[in-house]
A and B are shown apart, each in its own frame.
Chain A
């Protein structure tokens, strides 16, 4: 689409993010809440809404929701009721979903994102509320019948709703990513988008820049990655702008995003939607959050990514970029801290984690706590390099993979592989002399001022010593030898 046309409009996005909470049992009964398992094996009489069953609130759900609220600087509601949202669907056993309509557990608050240019922006939240998940309808190819799996029915969710204050696809993606980071560092959701533990809907509208009224909003469902949130917003905004440019109206509707085509498709118009007939659930007593309870929850709050970032910059003296990368992942940040207990070469730890360790993790698709790299092994690797016995490059390329495979000390590995650097001038000097003798033309160039050629000599020296020459020492000796030559 023509950029000039696009620039006439402002995109307005609000996100609704559902996070499945990491509770052992479901929100209103003692069935297991774990993902997977054979279909319909976590389904007791309450999950299946047998006649005579009643819900009983799992208090852990409330605590986890409050933690999210505290992390987002929301106001925590002290007195809450649970509401029934009535609609018929086969994967909704009771014929209503228990949710919080009138009294969400957390009101207001904000999430801080970093924009492309490195500025911070506060995205206001409307609310965070508690609700229960539905089961899964499974439509098998070529089969008329729909299959139902109720394992997920009644698993606890929080829904995080932002205000319509997001104005670019990048921001939308950043908000979703930040929410994922927060729930993971709070330990209340595993953030696994493929398994559906974290799901995002976006309300997208466009308006002419400067206009006050919001445009007709369209709800986009089914985006299961940060990238897809961005793609969906881009596509939907373009679709709406194109319609408006043609003088057509935008229909308030629900659309689904297809990751294969990158487009959104209409599901149902809002006019056809249910009247959910919300009313307070008479089976659950109103919930009161006492000051003591709130304080107990507050005391259990882990350190948050933003606080961690500040600590990495001020306490460990890391560059902001390093601190940002390391605190992106809770596991990586914690790992950094455990290595930092063993050595105070903080920048070296950072270099290792951001370099070889991270690329290895990406390669195997795991988190740092899943690969068996002991903090003291990394500390010994760092010592090995810092003591000048092995260069960083050699350690990363040859020693590190062995450390991952065995519990043998890095130094022993380096010795076995014959990688210990030669720091003996008597051993290196003859090689240097040999090289100078073999490349008289290069020496001439050097003498004529082309100092960069020294790298060529170093390369030769390293090649002939099979990388074992201490580069610092070799460089010194080489410069010294070259200076002795008079042409």
Chain B
């Protein structure tokens, strides 16, 4: 029986000193997956394949030609394409669909000798904050099985939390990596928009969508980002900005002092759970003691962030999800009589309620009579939000907020009121609206032992700085 590894560096150390093998490691994760099946984390487990690949990589390690990520076992949210493997965004509408290609991020993981262990449950089409909107049923939080793990990448967060893999790749459109990371007490990174190619990521809101990384520590996130980020011929919107060697930059210890801002109104929000407020304030005090400058700032545009997000993301989603029409692949309703009924029944039966709600909302805001009032207006507000945040980030290195207003809530607690559910993304959405990199870091637990999270946001492409500071922040506690 292997122990749970806190860092990938320890895994590599033990692999190279022959204490363990990839095969043993994969078996260890498979055993955890099996013993915690009730959490409903994995939609597919690629046990035989992962073991076969582990044997190949063990051989490479013996020969000394193994890749950078040899021994890293990764799980994929069910929105990432993995060639010849099922892919369905936790939706009935993609029943039976098998991807014919690898997402660029997945290809780069494989090229670096990582092992893919399975496909992880999530909210349907990444729409949700609790993982309850899955055609495969909810994923449960490992700390308290009556509670949600957050969403939409709930399965990916629980997998890392419960040691079913070392790292998961999720997607973050409005907080879908950071929010579940906070609920599960792990690290969740959403890099700068366009840092990682979206080729092979099922689209929700294209101008917000970001592949994100779940890990147990900063170093693992930095290493994985370094491998999967960067220019890609298949995505014309991906950034051409060079990708620094995050992991080696991070190994050089930094005691640099930073200028830190926190948003006053987020801490004074009545929606904020008091223990989270206390924990953040405590961190801020410690940072001050450590020699960083800490300032409270106002951000009057905050109240527009969530509406802006829900207008623009759903507008894009309504169009992005048009391809699921029952014509070429996936689910087609058996009860159709003509073309129109095929569309209507296929989509009514194939999509869940939340997805339908967002498609309808997005269709509405794009319709000719409302386009200017909603879509156009929201685009302008989005630009303002980004400009304002960029201005602030000239003055400050980082902006700190809670990741979520509360710790993990009960299953079914917000199921009847979608707006209540949307508030779970209140603090995380900002980074997506502005395209900025942000990370959620574990911040202890509340009085009933549920994990809390703190979010740090930086300027575009400042991930190196973000990692350095995150390490300092994690070392405070």
Q: Which residues of A are at the interface with B, using a C-beta cutoff of 8 A?
A: 45, 48-57, 84, 86, 88, 90, 93-96, 146, 148, 275, 277, 279, 282-285
Contact = CB atoms under 8 A, between A and B. Distances in A.
B323 A95 contact: yes
Given A277-B363, A283-B206, A88 B201 contact: no
A279 B236 contact: no
A146 B87 CA distance: 27
State the 4 A-B residue pairs at the shortest beta-carbon distance, nearest first. Answer: A95-B322, A282-B206, A277-B366, A282-B207
Given A93-B328, A96-B322, A52 B202 contact: yes
B233 interface: yes
Interface string B97-115: 1011101000000000000
A275 B371 CA distance: 11
A22 to B, nearest CB: 23
Specify the main secondary structure of chain A where it touches its partner: loop
B95 to A, nearest CB: 13
Contacts of B325: 88, 90, 95
A54 B235 contact: yes
Interface string B14-35: 0000000000000000000000
A51 B95 CA distance: 13
Nearest to B87: A51
Given A86-B319, A284-B237, A54 B199 contact: yes
B323 A284 contact: no
B41 interface: no
Contacts of B71: none
B375 interface: yes
Specify the main secondary structure of chain B where it touches its partner: loop
22 contacts: A48-B328, A48-B329, A50-B99, A51-B94, A51-B97, A51-B323, A54-B234, A54-B235, A56-B233, A84-B319, A86-B318, A86-B366, A90-B325, A90-B327, A93-B327, A95-B322, A96-B319, A96-B322, A277-B368, A283-B206, A283-B236, A285-B236
B220 interface: no
Nearest to B367: A275
A88 B329 CA distance: 15
Contacts of B371: 277, 279
A1 B368 CA distance: 41
A49 B202 CA distance: 11
B431 interface: no
B204 to A, nearest CB: 11
A56 B234 contact: yes
A290 to B, nearest CB: 16
Contact of A277 (B103, B203, B319, B329): B319
Contacts of B318: 86, 277
B324 to A, nearest CB: 8
Given A282-B237, A282-B316, A283-B206, A49 B328 contact: yes
Nearest to A150: B328
Contacts of A93: 323, 327-328
Given A95-B322, A275-B367, A282-B207, A90 B200 contact: no
A99 to B, nearest CB: 13
A120 B99 CA distance: 57
B252 interface: no
Contact of B319 (A48, A50, A95, A148): A95
B301 to A, nearest CB: 22
A344 B366 CA distance: 65
Interface residues of B, number: 43
Nearest to B89: A51
A55 B236 contact: yes
B198 interface: yes
B236 A284 contact: yes
B339 interface: yes
A429 B367 CA distance: 92
Given A52-B81, A56-B236, A285-B237, A88 B343 contact: yes
A52 B236 contact: no
B80 to A, nearest CB: 8
B200 A52 contact: yes
Contacts of B339: 90, 146
B368 A275 contact: yes
A90 B342 CA distance: 10
A283 B363 contact: no
Contact of B323 (A49, A148, A283): A49
A118 B321 CA distance: 55
B316 to A, nearest CB: 6
B373 to A, nearest CB: 14
Contacts of A148: 327
Interface in B322-354: 322-323, 325, 327-329, 339, 343
Interface string B206-217: 110000000000
Contacts of A55: 236
Contact of B375 (A48, A95, A279): A279
A49 B329 CA distance: 10
Nearest to A276: B368
Given A50-B99, A56-B236, A279 B315 contact: yes
Interface string B61-104: 00000000000000000011100000101000010010111010
B297 to A, nearest CB: 30
B377 to A, nearest CB: 13
A282 B235 CA distance: 11
Nearest to B80: A52
Contacts of A94: 322-323
Interface string B304-320: 00000000000110110
Contacts of A88: 322, 325, 343
Contacts of B323: 49, 51, 93-95
Contacts of A57: 236
Given A52-B101, A282-B316, 20 more contacts: A49-B323, A49-B328, A51-B81, A51-B87, A51-B94, A52-B99, A52-B103, A54-B198, A54-B236, A54-B237, A84-B319, A88-B325, A93-B327, A95-B319, A96-B322, A148-B327, A275-B367, A279-B371, A279-B375, A285-B237
Contacts of A51: 81, 87, 89, 94, 97, 99, 202-203, 323
Contacts of B206: 282-283
A52 B207 CA distance: 14
Contacts of B322: 86, 88, 94-96
Contacts of A48: 328-329
Q: Among A48, A51, A94, A283, which residue has the most Cβ atoms of chain B within 10 A? A: A51
Contacts of A52: 79-81, 87, 99, 101, 103, 199-203
Interface in B156-215: 198-203, 206-207
Contacts of A45: 100-101
Nearest to B208: A282
Contacts of A90: 325, 327, 339
Nearest to A279: B366
Q: Among B323, B343, B366, B367, which residue has the most Cβ atoms of chain A within 10 A? A: B323
A259 B339 CA distance: 28
A146 B342 CA distance: 13
A283 B366 contact: no
Contacts of A283: 198, 203, 206, 236-237
Interface in B349-380: 363, 366-368, 371, 375
A279 to B, nearest CB: 6
A88 B322 CA distance: 7
Nearest to A287: B236
Contacts of B234: 54, 56
A134 to B, nearest CB: 12
A473 B103 CA distance: 85
A50 B234 CA distance: 14
B85 to A, nearest CB: 12
Contacts of B321: 95
A25 to B, nearest CB: 13
A336 B202 CA distance: 56
B376 to A, nearest CB: 9
Contacts of B327: 90, 93, 148
Nearest to B316: A282
